[in-house]
Amino acid sequence: MTITTRFAPSPTGDLHLGGAWTALASWALARSAGGRTVLRVEDVDTPRVVAGSAERIVADLAWLGLDWDEGPIAQSSRTAAYEAALARLDAAGLTYPCDCSRAEIARAASAPHAGEESGETIYPGTCRDARRDRDFKRLPATRLRVPKDARVAFEDGVRGAIEEDVARVVGDFVLRRGDGVFAYQLVVAIDDAEMGVSHVVRADDLLGSTARQLLLMRLLGYPSAPAYAHVPLVVAPDGARLAKRTPGATTRELAAAGVAPEAIVGALARGLGLVAEGSGPLTAREVAARLRPPSAWRRTPWAMPRAWAGA
């Protein structure tokens, strides 16, 4: 089987080190096996898109030495595919409209233990059996009617065996918001399946999304699903999560300060366990040639060098 990976940034700002790390890991995994890689721009949430961001991210990836076999593909060009998938789910009786506000959901789901495993508020099913032709309080979202037996198990390349009961841990989740924006879970499931992605490498703050996306692929009848490897976050020197205000957190800032791309690639590869310790600056292709298996990659957050924060 030919390995196909993807890197799928959201164009909401410049490429930061966490994005560079997942892009490098995903790219190296494909290249080390003679596989393919796809660049997908996740711009479906149009209110958050920053003008010019996608072009800057593409340029920064190329500066780091990363290339791709397909793309960049903008999610905004794939609306017809998302509409068709939503129609299939609706025809199967697996969707329903929901006009609950966030505040109403929070109040209804305030019972003890609600969402304690996922860290999210579990939708209590208020609209699950309501009439579809009723008068709506506001523009309704479209929710998935999650089957009660929706258990999903998968083997994560970094984290190991994972199993989740989607109905109990997450509940009926949104597929399309009331403002018409397709939800992340739906578009990513469709894109990964239809683009032939065999291996997804992404940050472990998205680990909780995986079971939902695998469930959607199953319900939509896709014949196969990707393997996953969820990698730790890159954090600031003090351990805080990277933010737009974190000094030296973007590759563009580091480049402007004179930090070479090989220095960034080498530090990320060593710090996050893609390659063995002891090497200096590396090109992306050198990382691919020395790549260790995902099971050997780092599992805890990695702090960017303090010197970079002063770049």
Active site residues: 244
| Sequential DSSP letters for 35-71 | -EEEEEE---SGGGPPTTHHHHHHHHHHHTT---SEE
From residue 216, alpha-carbon distances to 79, 146, 163, 192, 210 in Å are 17, 9, 15, 11, 10
What contacts 244, CB < 8 A, 6 or more positions away? 13
Q: What are phi and psi of 170, to 5 degrees?
A: -115, -45
Dist. CA 29–CA 8, nearest whole Å = 15
What contacts 235, CB < 8 A, 6 or more positions away? 241, 242, 301, 302, 303, 304
Question: Count H helices, E strands: the chain?
Answer: 11, 12
Edge-first strand order for the sheet with 227-231 is 160-165, 151-156, 227-231, 199-203
Buried b (16+ CB within 10 A) or exposed e, 144-154: bbbeeebebeb
Report how far apart the first and last C-alpha atoms of the chain are (Å, whole number). Answer: 43
